[in-house]
Amino acid sequence: MVFKAYLKLIPSHLGSVIMYMAIFFFMVNMVVAGTDGISSGSGSIDGFTSLVAVNDLDKSEESEALTEYLKKSDNIKLAEIDFERENAVQDSIYNRKAEYVLIINKGFAENLKSGNYENILSSEVIPGSSSEMFVGNEIDSYMAAVKLYLTGGYDSVSACREAAKTLEKGVEVTDYKQEQGWNDENKEAYLFYNFVPYVMIMMVLSILVPTLSTFFNDEMRSRSLCSPITPAAYTAQVIGGAFVVSLGIFAFLILTGIAVAKGRLFNEMSGWSLLQMFVFTMFVLVLSGLIGVLCSGRKKAANYVTSIVSNILGLGMSFMCGVFVKQSLLGEGILNAGKLLPVYWYVRGNNMIMGGDGQVFDKKEVIICILIQLLFVAAVFSAALLAAVVKKGKRSDK
């Protein structure tokens, strides 16, 4: 009876759900639109072509991969130079037959394998020219990608080839372990999971706090206990109703995520993402219970407090913990403060799971992030129980 009565109150709060979902859609799509076409590799520049000559002294598969990468660039045209001829490089640059001469030094492949990146490449170029900057950036981006692939466990040949593929596709270079879930095609999924804490706090609090405060109200409780129901069963049904509503919001957000991510919400890492999202849902649920108990005096007070608390927690934690601003861009002081909040650990876990913000997937670290969120769930749940006991004691004293 109480359970059904609780669920009947939920439709009256659907307006808040629609409002926050509209905000959620707008935020994700705005950020996605702002990142379209952006990648860590160098992009093409219309109307610009640099003449590049490559003197491959190593003659290895690795050096050939670098040459092939430059050859495929839309803004680079390879020039032919007879490097055997004396002063060929200087003459070619002087006569503008080549604007940038790249020398792949002997031992390029062996040095890559050993991790020695000093003096493996050299160049002759017109000082201060656009080619010096553009081609230099192209090569730097390529070598940075190669180093990251080597760090991820690839052999030198595979690292060179995969680096070229990565930069050609314009994929964000963050991590190159095979178990990593991020790629440019699922950035919508990453952004969806990253914004979940904000929308979850705003939606769940706006629905559950007013309803919980109503059922924890002394008058409502006294009326209900006049029927053949025990106080324990009454409380269990109220909590059960809140739990079902939370699961409904969880499922609704997943369906929304499928639409936001354009059908690419799930990949091999989705189990971790969904587990973390569920744990955070439980945190917001117990937080709603705590606030509901504290505001069980009057409904108007509950609505007023809900608006204040949801905005403070939703916006405050989102800005401090990395939802709206990447954690890598936040100051050390803000990050240290953010570690005292569950959203920080959620975002940190999401970055590692999805490979965002330059993070690398680490199963142990992800588990730690989830366990810390569970500790927040336990702490807030204990606080809610304590608040309920204190409220009950005050009722008994009257």
Encode pLDDT of 330-386 as tens digits.
888 888 888 999 999 999 999 988 888 777 788 999 999 999 999 999 999 999 888
Compute the distance between CA of residue 85 and CA of residue 99 in angstroms, rounded to an integer.
18
Q: What are phi and psi of 87, to 5 degrees?
A: 60, 25
Q: What is the pLDDT of residues 92-132, one digit of tens each?
A: 877 778 888 888 999 999 988 888 888 898 888 877 667 77
CA atoms within 13 A on the CB side of 342: 28
Which residue, 301, 297, 325, is CA-closest to 391?
A: 297
User: Residue ranges of the chain with pLDDT lower than 70?
Assistant: 1-17, 20-21, 24-48, 128-129, 169-186, 214-232, 234, 296-307, 392-398
Q: Look up the CATH architecture of domain 50-169.
A: 3-Layer(aba) Sandwich (3.40)
Distance CA 142, CA 281 (A): 41
- Between the alpha carbon of residue 174 and those of residues 114, 183, 266, the distances in Å are 22, 9, 19
Residues carrying CATH 3.40.1710, the chain = 50-169
